[in-house]
């Protein structure tokens, strides 16, 4: 969940480069951050609690000198958010400094052993154990031998960068957590993902599980878990990167919502040209498979629910499962096609689901946003949704492009949808921002909100509720309209906000809307039914009944959630306790 960054350069002052690289990983965590530089064989560490800019204002990372360093931005798992628990962590003698992304599952056992033999711990994290472990091992073993032992003895997940005070090298180890080496002309960079260095190079080496490496400013050696040297191919990657900075926008989230028309057109063009062959292969795999299961989490799961709806409508049987429960509910065999959907391509629960599917000999396909991500590399075939980098934790344009790709797949099987005018309809929706803000201001005064839908709009109801929870901290529940009478009606009082998603003239959801209205609910309607168009609390979506309403209603919900959070003054791009890339179980 955290972001790690390391650099070894011919340039003696890399502090600014390190700071910029770490900023590009801040979406992975922003509880605290820190850096360790090796300068004249002395490791200097600066760290504190808070977002990177705020910590830099306090400690001034740019004062650090040296041509190699490691850095970390944290999303806390083990140990509270304190300066002592922030990274980098050091050994007792100060000769070793580490940053870590992942979870050491047997850290308490290791910590107890190390404490008995005299090691002093200053944090409550699992990660600090790593520094003391290597300090102890290196008393009578080489660093390579210590790495081999670590991989054998440690339970859990890790991407680790390690500095030794007497060596101009960075040691790196990886299991399950992502780690790549960016190959530059005058430097080597290590990072949690390619976005950290995609502005500097398009060439990278990707660590696989239970591998470790020794990296210098102009060389790299990689080894397997037994310490045998291995050759790794340098991969060239393409990364669709939008203009950096918020520009005219108050928050990245709004910038990314308004990028949706552009990224939709980019994806559709790609499916007709650059990704045409792979798209055709995916369609053939679906046709040949006896069973198809989507595996996804969070926002991506809601996109997969829409995909299942589209495909069911034309007779293609698809099941979708939340990845964390995949092995408990999926019946998988060699005739099963598992389609993983993930923005980051690093979602640990999805990776676990794919490992389970592989054990059962299922075929694996993925729809991801990050090239050469773990999920993409696990797949026999992968399509890129081409949404570009999302900085805001709340996924918006990635959700839209995931849904567009699923609609495009359904179209190949006969689902009637006109995608050519989708970007124009998204732009038209943005013209209602002031009306949406007015509705949002009213909803913001409540502690609870309910979003109801049926059929096409049920997944959208869940997605809108997720967005409201994520960034406004208002309790929101997205549900099937038909389930209101099974408990939820007891929670509806005078003024309770209910957002109703009415597709065309769906009498069932209209009836559900009247049910909650009769009990005093304050109704907001998102609809493509012109009968409601002129009503005050209505967000009108100008589209027909061809599947696009679900996607457009979701974007209307994104705007609504954004404005609710903005009225409340929430930290929209960096909501508390959340992270963009969920790389822990």
**Domains in the chain, start-ordered, CATH in brackets?**
3-236 (3.60.20.10), 243-420 (3.40.50.10490), 430-585 (3.40.50.10490)
Cβ neighbours, 10 Å, residue 222: 20
In the DSSP assignment, the letter for residue 222 is: E
Q: Which tokens in the block code for residue 416?
A: 């009637």
Nearest to 166 by CA among 45, 11, 66, 40: 40
Catalytic option among 137, 169, 467, 580 = 580
Q: What is the pLDDT of residue 75?
A: 83
Separation CA 423–CA 438 (nearest Å): 25
CB burial of residue 276 (10 Å; 0-12, 13-18, 19+): exposed
Cβ neighbours, 10 Å, residue 168: 14
Q: Which tokens in the block code for residue 427?
A: 């732009």
51: left (phi over 0), alpha (psi -120 to 50) or beta: beta
Separation CA 263–CA 547 (nearest Å): 19
Q: Which tokens in the block code for residue 250?
A: 């108050």
Cα end-to-end distance, the chain, whole Å: 10
C-alpha separations of 439 from 470, 491, 504, 519, 564 in Å? 19, 21, 21, 20, 9
Interaxial angle between packed helices 458-472 and 548-567, expressed in degrees from 0 to 180 and rounded to the nearest 10: 20
Is 295 in a helix, a strand, or coil? strand
Within 142-275, residue ranges assigned H as helices are 143-153, 252-258, 260-272
The pTM of this model reads: 0.89
Q: Are 122 and 187 in contact (CB under 8 A)?
A: no
Q: What is the pLDDT of residue 281?
A: 98
Q: What is the pLDDT of residue 585?
A: 52
Q: Which residues of the chain have pLDDT under 70?
A: 239-245, 579-585
In the DSSP assignment, the letter for residue 411 is: H
Q: Are 402 and 385 in contact (CB under 8 A)?
A: yes
Separation CA 549–CA 460 (nearest Å): 10
DSSP element (H, E) containing 181: strand 180-183
2 is known as an active-site residue: yes
Q: What is the pLDDT of residue 241?
A: 63
Separation CA 304–CA 406 (nearest Å): 8
Separation CA 57–CA 65 (nearest Å): 17
Q: What is the pLDDT of residue 583?
A: 54
Give the rounded distance of the alpha carbon of 149 from its chain centre.
31
Separation CA 499–CA 464 (nearest Å): 9
Q: Which tokens in the block code for residue 426?
A: 């998204």
365: left (phi over 0), alpha (psi -120 to 50) or beta: beta
DSSP strand pairing (89-90 vs 96-104): antiparallel
C-alpha separations of 498 from 73, 302, 445, 522 in Å? 38, 20, 13, 6
Catalytic option among 2, 147, 184, 297 = 2
313 is known as an active-site residue: no
CA-derived radius of gyration, the chain = 25
């Amino acid at each position: 969940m955290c972001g790690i960054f390391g650099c070894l350069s011919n340039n003696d002052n890399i502090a600014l480069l390190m700071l910029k690289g770490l900023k590009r990983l801040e979406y992975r965590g922003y509880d605290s951050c820190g850096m360790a530089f090796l300068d004249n064989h002395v490791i200097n560490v600066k760290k504190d609690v808070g977002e990177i800019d705020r910590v830099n204002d306090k400690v001034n990372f740019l004062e650090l000198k040296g041509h190699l360093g490691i850095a970390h931005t944290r999303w806390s798992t083990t140990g509270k958010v304190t300066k002592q628990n922030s990274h980098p962590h050091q050994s007792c003698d100060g000769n070793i400094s580490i940053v870590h992304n992942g979870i050491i599952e047997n850290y308490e056992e290791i910590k107890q052993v190390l404490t008995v033999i005299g090691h002093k711990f200053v944090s409550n994290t699992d990660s600090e154990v790593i520094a003391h472990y290597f300090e102890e091992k290196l008393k009578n073993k080489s660093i390579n031998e210590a790495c081999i032992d670590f991989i054998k003895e440690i339970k859990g997940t890790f991407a680790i960068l390690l500095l030794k005070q007497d060596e101009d090298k960075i040691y790196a180890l990886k299991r399950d957590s992502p780690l790549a080496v960016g190959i530059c002309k005058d430097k080597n960079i290590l990072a949690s993902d390619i976005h950290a260095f995609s502005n500097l190079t398009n060439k990278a080496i990707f660590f696989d599980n239970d591998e470790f490496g020794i990296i210098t400013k102009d060389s790299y050696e990689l080894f397997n878990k037994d310490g045998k040297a291995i050759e790794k191919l340098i991969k060239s990657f393409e990364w669709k990167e939008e203009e950096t900075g918020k520009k005219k926008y108050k928050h990245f989230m709004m910038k990314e919502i308004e990028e949706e028309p552009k990224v939709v057109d980019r994806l559709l063009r790609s499916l007709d040209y650059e990704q045409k062959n792979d798209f055709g292969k995916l369609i053939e795999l679906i046709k040949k498979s006896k069973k198809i299961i989507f595996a996804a989490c969070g926002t991506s799961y809601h996109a997969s629910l829409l995909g299942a709806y589209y495909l069911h409508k034309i007779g293609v049987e698809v099941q979708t499962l939340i990845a964390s429960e995949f092995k408990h509910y999926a019946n998988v065999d060699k005739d099963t096609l598992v389609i993983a959907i993930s923005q980051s391509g690093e979602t640990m629960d999805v990776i676990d689901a794919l490992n389970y599917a592989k054990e059962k000999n299922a075929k694996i396909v993925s729809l991801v946003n990050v090239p050469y991500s773990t999920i993409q590399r696990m797949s026999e075939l992968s399509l890129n949704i081409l949404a570009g980098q999302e900085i805001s934790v709340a996924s918006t344009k990635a959700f839209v492009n995931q849904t567009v790709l699923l609609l495009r797949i359904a179209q190949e099987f006969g689902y009637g949808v006109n995608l050519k005018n989708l970007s124009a309809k998204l732009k038209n929706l943005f013209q209602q921002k002031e009306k949406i803000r007015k509705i949002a201001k009213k909803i913001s005064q409540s502690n609870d909100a309910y979003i109801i839908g049926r059929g096409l709009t049920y997944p959208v109801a869940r997605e809108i509720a997720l967005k409201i929870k994520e960034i406004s901290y208002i309790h929101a529940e997205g549900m099937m309209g038909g389930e209101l009478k099974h408990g939820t009606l007891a929670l509806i009082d005078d003024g309770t906000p209910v957002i109703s998603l009415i597709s065309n003239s769906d009498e069932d959801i209209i009836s559900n809307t009247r049910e909650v209205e009769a009990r005093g609910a304050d109704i907001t309607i998102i609809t493509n039914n012109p009968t409601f168009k002129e009503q005050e609390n209505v967000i009108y979506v100008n589209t027909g009944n061809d599947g696009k309403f679900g996607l457009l209603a979701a974007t209307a919900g994104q705007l609504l959630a954004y404005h609710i959070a903005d009225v409340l003054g929430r930290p929209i791009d960096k909501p508390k306790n959340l992270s963009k890339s969920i790389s822990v179980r």
